Amino acid sequence: MMRKLTSAGPVKFSTDRVEPGAGSREPWCYNGTASRAVSGRRAVSRIGLRELVDAVVRRLNTLKRVPYPWVVVGVCTVTAMSAQFSLTGIGVMFPFIQEDLDTSLAELGLIMSMILVGATVPGLLAGWMADVMGVRRLQTVTRIGVAAATMAFSRITSLPQGLVLGLIVGVANGPSYANVTKAISEWVPPRTRGLAMGIEQSSIPLSGIMVALLLTSLALTYDWRTSLVIAGAVVAVATVFFFAFYRDKPAPGDPRETQPRSGGRIGPVIRNRGIWFACLFAAAFQGFQPVVTSYLILFVRDDLGMSAVASSGLLGVSMAGGTAGRIAWGLASDVMRGGRVLTLLMVSVTSGLSMLVLMWMPSDTPLGLVLVIVFLMGATCLASPGLFAVLVAEQAGPGLTGTAMGFAITITNLGGFAVAPVFGYIVDETGSYDNGWLMMVGLAVVATAFLLPLLPEALAKKGGRPLGQGDSGTVARR
């Protein structure tokens, strides 16, 4: 006897409040439900798609006890990983593009520069739009733009076309950092916010390595154009995933209504001394990442006499350190007295010390010690973005997170653009990496000095509580 088939009605996902005693230990949980309709012969005609949806929904219903804030961390992590299919993917295709379009290395560098400039352009406007429009709508629209521009990039036949589309990719990707920071800071409670942001940030270097291997294999098997089309499709699928599962934070007391979009005021952000000190710290510290990723390979090859293969391996070790550091420092900022401020101070001081040790190492230094120092450099120099974002978000408070992040990105990118070229200029003019490393040690001292005014207030807070927040996690009125 054939078993009677049933079909699923429209799938409805919600973030409704789960009352105490409803099987959840957290006030906000992922409560995926699906309404089921009685079916007969009508269901049989839809057995393919409807039964597939029904199976997926049954699987999702097993996630009812997953706290919704961690669902948010999951979808934000997936979005961040998918972004590398476009940002890293285009760079990985450069050898194939150079051969196909007969361009120089300098011209290829212009494409990447346009992507970076484009990512900076939205800045304050993108943050303001996140506060006014909400994360869900803005992130969906901009990620669709990234997917479309990446696919269009696969059709370029000249350098000017690549420059224009590179700029569009950067502009469309620009709001993502502010959106993710706002989503996590609004949904995840202060006691685990640093860890959550660290997990999201740690996915970026890991996915970059994965993207480089996957897209290169596709380009060798097919061609670079097909590889970028697939990269754009991955971004599009991840965008649909984000739109389906993410919801903007409901207003307190009424889970059915979202927060009123009355934020986005720049005045309170500019007058907030905590945000200014955090931005000045990041502006000084922002250059550490491009210096490590760009010049570490050259230093160990030229000064320590290692081969190109070994030098590339050490860069991989530093990236692994960055991945581990983002999670470890984020967790430390949640549980340690002094919270984000003290943790960032420790990151800054340790970065300067690791560069001093690297500068003093002789050419016959044992490989094991070199590995430890390089890993430590990665765990500090590459680990600050998540902590910095959480600190700025907590200083700004609800309703202003996006605007504050846009303001912060605009200021801090100035440091990122300037430091790496100056480092290279110093090494070229003096003929020694020692002077370049000394400059970076000086920047670590400056960055540390910018955070010191916030330390007394941070230490006065209980555990990892952020500045200006009480035990309830709500921002106190300044």
With CA atoms as reference, report the closest residue to 331 among 340, 321, 320, 341: 340
DSSP 343: H
List the structure tokens of 60: 């999702």
**Residue 428 CB partners (closer than 8 Å, separation 6+):** none
Rounded percentage of the chain residues whose pLDDT exceeds 70: 78
Residue 93 carries which side chain, given as an amino acid letter? M
Q: State the virtual CA torsion across 280, 284, 287, 292 in degrees, nearest 10.
A: -130
Distance from the Cα of residue 464 to its chain's centroid: 22
**What fold, for 68-249?**
Growth Hormone; Chain: A; (1.20.1250)
CA 17 to chain centre: 28
Which residue intervals of the chain bear CATH 1.20.1250.20? 68-249, 266-460
Give the pLDDT confidence score for residue 165 in this predicted structure. Answer: 93
Residue 440: which H helix or E strand, with range?
A: helix 433-451
Condensed to tens digits (0 to 9), the pLDDT of residues 48-67 reads 666 665 665 566 555 556 78
Q: What pLDDT digit, counting tens, does each position of 350-394 carry?
A: 999 988 888 888 878 888 888 888 899 888 888 888 888 888 888
Q: Could you tell me the pLDDT band of residue 429, with boundaries at 50, 70 and 90?
A: confident
Reported as half-sphere exposure (CB side, CA atoms, 13 A), residue 45 has a value of 4
| Fold observed for domain 266-460 | Growth Hormone; Chain: A; (1.20.1250)
Q: pTM here?
A: 0.69
> What DSSP designation does 9 have?
E
Q: Please state, rounded to an integer, the average pLDDT across all residues of the chain.
A: 77
- Residue 145 token pair: 């733009």
Q: Three-state SS string across 175-212, please?
A: CHHHHHHHHHHHHCCHHHHHHHHHHHHHHHHHHHHHHH
Q: What is the pLDDT of residues 204-259, one digit of tens each?
A: 877 877 887 888 889 889 999 999 999 999 999 999 999 999 988 875 554 444 44
Please give the distance of CA 207 from its chain centroid, rounded to a whole number.
11
Instruction: Tell me how crowded residue 331 is: count the other CB atoms within 10 A of its CB.
Output: 18
pLDDT digits (tens, 9 = 90+) for 159-202: 899 999 999 998 998 888 888 888 888 888 888 888 888 888 88
Question: How many residues are given for the chain?
Answer: 478
Nearest to residue 76, comparing CAs of 151, 206, 177? 177
